[in-house]
Structure 1
Amino acid sequence: MSQILPAMFGTDSLLVGTIIPFLFVLTVVVFVHEMGHYLVGRWCGIGVRAFSIGFGPELFGFTDRHGTRWKLSAIPLGGYVKFVGDMNVTSTPDAQEAEKLSDEERKVAFHTQPVWKRAATVVAGPLFNFLLTIAVFTVVFTMYGRFVSEPMVAEIRPGSPAAVAGFQPGDRFVSVDGEKVTTFSDVQRLVSGRAGDKLNFVLHRDGKDITLAATPEPMEQTDALGNKLKVGVIGVINDEQLGRPRVVSYSPAGAFVEAVRETGNIIARTGQFFQRFAAGREDKCQLGGPVKIADMAGRAAKLGFEWLVQLVALLSVGIGFLNLLPIPPLDGGHLLFYGIEAVIRRPVSERTMEIFYRIGMLAVLGFMVFVFWNDLFGC
């Protein structure tokens, strides 16, 4: 018994070391996303049937005074808010159920609301995900500051793209592909996701600015959570003498501004990654599903709670971004239909919506199978 208990409940056990951190990360991200839908929907006067964390059979829950069923369900891989008049958790209207609605219910049904209210309710989920990330980074930057170094070239790897392009020790980066940089991290951020792309670098050398072109090459690196990543590099090295590494402290207001900027950068990099992935220019193993997230959560938990919270922030951006893709039944698919409705001044026909929802559902299921395969067999 003395050996069984540590194996089951010790910090290195599957339960405590991986499953609980995974459930914490995913539950927080899903709860915030669905709470966005719920709060804005209620603010718009839309009735809510159910708020669920997870899918499938209900484990436990309660019904509030507004008639909303709050519940925790058995499959912890998402969640949903079901509004009055919805056929299912994807918020598609059901003609048969609509006929059964009373006059009072019809007034608060989702599908009877003006298009702007429906759009606001749908976009609130991803928006709340982005706000969660901003909030986490604001706290982290306020408490710990941020490690930065000057955008200086201290050393150049022989034979690297930078060496071929003519970079020299002592050069200072001014901009990368038209975007101004102030820290060496800015340079890494702009180069890491652009392997194979020819980039223009403005460098300050001997009192004047010069422009050099280099094409980052892919290199496999391991991050703090043990993930093997292929990133673009040009072969320049920063050091303590020229880089003058230091920690920058922020006031709460300054931390918020920096958090907004960092969240915007992550969203931009995520979009850039998926563009390159669709074009076949990114490694498929860069994408993972629940198994990979669980592994990352376990590793983050071992490094400390602040690492786990930062993983929440990064995953929240990813969930928000994916949900904005214009694919039914994702939030972006709903927004696409609402945009068309606003232009043509009538709802898209149910037949057309049904066709696109079926195609979209197949695409979403295909993506889920793909990342599960990557998790278990592919990588």
Structure 2
Amino acid sequence: MLPQPPIWLVLIAFICALGPLVFFHELGHYFVARLFKIPAEVFSIGFGKEIFGWTDKQGTRWKVAWLPLGGYVKFVGDMSPASNPSDLQDLPPEVREKAFQTRPVWQRFLVVLAGPAANFLIAIAIFTAFFAVVGMPRTENLVVNVQPGSVAQKIGIQRGDRIVAISGDDTPTFEDISNIVLMRPGEPVTLSVLRNKQVVNLPVIIGAAEEKDRFGQKFRVGRLGIYGDTRTYVKLSPLELVPAATTYTIKLTGSMMQGLWQIVSGRRSASELGGPIKIAQVAGQSASLGVLAFVQLLALFSINLGFINLLPVPMLDGGHLFFYAIEAVRRRPVSARALDWAFRGGLALILALMVFTTINDLGSIGLWDRLQRLIG
């Protein structure tokens, strides 16, 4: 088992991971807004008191604040998180014309969507570079060996079988099989097995196992009890790189959606939800393993940031997009009162989630166990 990285490395890795991802997320908002000639008053990385900053020729204040847990872009006339149209009443006419809230709903929708989109594009760029340098993992979906006593042996999986689909999801590579199985411990599925040029459908309940990573952290995963060939990395042509990276990013996003739904539906423990402390811990661990592991983690963090921001929760980008969609259908904006209450509720939900994940994080680093031992 590897030792935990020192605190200084955890803090540096956390800032180096979250800072650039938040910067590019907000930069997505900013660039699309500039395309529509919507001026920005503030571009902030972090919250709270400004550490340093500067003002550009367009009048935008670029700054870094002391609490590196996010960031924001404040557009001209944007005076509340809900961006209520009523906020514009007291503005001078020349400012009102430039304000974000006065723009057509499709422009506001694209400006907000650009933040999460930037995070997905970063992930695609990282995977494109990885596939270009190292190659894409693409191991045959061939069963090389079956673990004795495993669920695979019990349902009759044999050496030489090919698992071509799991519950209708195609599995052209062994990596696809692993990704699906790992995310579904204890779930009933149907394996489509190619044997002697015929496809046999075998119902099975995926086994569950508790494992530890290299740093001793426990997690629950699915297990079939099959082994594939040695992982191979295939070199792709330049024209294949971006499509392959895009497909890979989409699959990872799908896995995140599935994991979240498992937590919401109670099939996976809510204790697996992590917050800033967990993010910092994982960032430090990956940094201690080398640059390549850390860059790969950046891609995963970027997908996670983009995905979370698309959730239809007020205060997040997805909440704004949800209300813009309603506005487009109704042909008029949602009332200021409804927006205000929705965003108050969204803020309360986010704060409650931060408290809950922080409690989980402190448990994951063993704080509650140590306190229990001291009290006992």
Match of 1:37 in 2: 29
Establish whether residue 92 from structure 1 lines up as the match of residue 47 from structure 2: no
* Alignment partner of 1:338 is 2:330: no
Q: Which whole-Å CA distance do the structure 1 matches of 2:14 and 2:355 have between them?
A: 20
- What is the alpha-carbon distance in structure 2 between the residues aligned to residue 358 and residue 244 of structure 1? 52
d(CA) in 2 for partners of 1:12, 1:375: 16
Give me the whole-angstrom Cα distance separating, in 1, the residues matched to 2:53 and 2:191.
57
Q: Secondary structure at the match of 1:163?
A: helix
Superposition pairs of residues 134-153 of structure 1, within 5 angstroms: 134-153=124-143
Matching residue of 2:54: 62
**Normalising by structure 1, what TM-score?**
0.91
Report the Cα distance in structure 2 between the residues aligned to 1:91 and 1:252, rounded to whole angstroms.
44
Question: In 2, Cα distance between the equivalents of 1:169 and 1:272?
Answer: 30
Partner of 2:20: 28
Residue segments in structure 1 that go unaligned for 5+ positions in a row? 1-10
1:370 is paired with a residue whose SS is helix
Look up the equivalent residue of 1:338 and give its one-letter code.
Y
Q: CA deviation at 1:45?
A: 1.8
Q: TM-score, normalised to structure 2's length?
A: 0.91
Query: Using the alignment, how far apart are the partners of 2:137 and 2:337 within structure 1?
Result: 54
Distance 1:222 1:262, change over 3 A: farther
1:14 paired to 2:7: yes
**Can you list the C-alpha shifts for 1:281-338, whole angstroms capped at 9, x where unaligned?**
1122322111111111111112111211111110011111111111101111111111
Partner Cα distance (1:81, 1:42) in 2 = 12
71, 82, 90: which one aligns with 1:79: 71
- Show CA shifts across 1:68-115 (max 9, x none): 110000100000001111124x3523745x234222211110111100
Task: Give the structure 1 partner of residue 223 of structure 2.
Answer: 233
Q: What secondary structure does 2:43 align onto? A: strand
Q: Which amino acid aligns with 1:62?
A: W
For residue 273 of structure 1, the aligned residue among 259, 282, 290 is 259
User: What SS class does the counterpart of residue 194 from structure 1 fall into?
Assistant: coil
Cα displacement (A) at 1:244 = 5.3
**In the alignment, residue 274 of structure 2 is paired with which amino acid?**
G
Runs of 4+ off more than 4 Å: 223-227
Structure 2 counterpart SS, 1:186: helix
Cα distance in structure 1, aligned partners of 2:6 and 2:181: 38
Asked if 1:181 corresponds to 2:192, the answer is no
Q: Which amino acid aligns with 2:159?
A: P
* Residue 106 of structure 1 pairs with residue 96 of structure 2: yes
Kept in 1: contact 2:24–2:119 (CA 8 A): yes
Q: Which amino acid aligns with 1:307?
A: A
Shift of 1:13: 4.3
Give the secondary-structure state (helix, strand or coil) at the position aligned to 2:97.
helix
2:286 maps to 1:295: no
Would the aligned equivalents of 2:139 and 2:174 in 1 still touch at CA under 8 Å?
yes
2:370 is aligned to none
Counterpart Cα distance in 1 of 2:71 and 2:19: 9
Aligned residues: 362
SS of structure 2 residue aligned to 1:218 = strand
C-alpha separation in 1, matches of 2:212 and 2:248: 21
Q: 1:154 to 1:117 in 2, by over 3 A?
A: same
> AA paired with 2:39?
G
Letter in 2 for 1:30: V
Give the % identical residues.
42
- The equivalent of 1:304 in structure 2 is 290
CA separation in 2, counterparts of 1:362 and 1:245? 46
Structure 1 residues 13, 188: CA separation in 2 closer, same or farther (over 3 Å shift)? closer
Q: Deviations over 1:24-67 (max 9, x none)?
A: 00001101111111111111221211000000011110111111
Q: Which runs of 5 or more structure 2 residues have no equivalent in the other structure?
A: 367-376
Distance 2:38 2:362 in 1: 41
Say whether the 8 Å CA contact 1:55–1:79 is kept in structure 2: yes
- CA contact 1:53–1:80 (8 Å) conserved in 2: yes
- 2:230 & 2:357 partners in 1: Cα distance? 41
Could you give the per-residue CA deviations for residues 179-232 of structure 1, whole angstroms, max 9, x where no partner exists? Answer: 222211111112221223221111121232211111112212344676533111
Residue in structure 1 matched with residue 211 of structure 2 by the alignment: 221
Contact kept, 8 Å, 2:272 with 2:360, in 1: the verdict is no
Structure 1 residue 262, shift from structure 2 partner: 0.7
Q: Which residue of 1 aligns with 2:246?
A: 260
Q: Could you tell me how far apart the structure 2 residues matched to 1:95 and 1:211 are?
A: 60
CA distance in 1, matches of 2:82, 2:117: 18
For 2:290 and 2:238, the matched residues in 1 are separated by 23
| Residue 212 of structure 1, aligned match among 171, 184, 202 | 202
Corresponding position of 2:235: 249
The question of whether the paired residues in 1 share the 8 Å contact of 2:275 and 2:354 is answered with yes
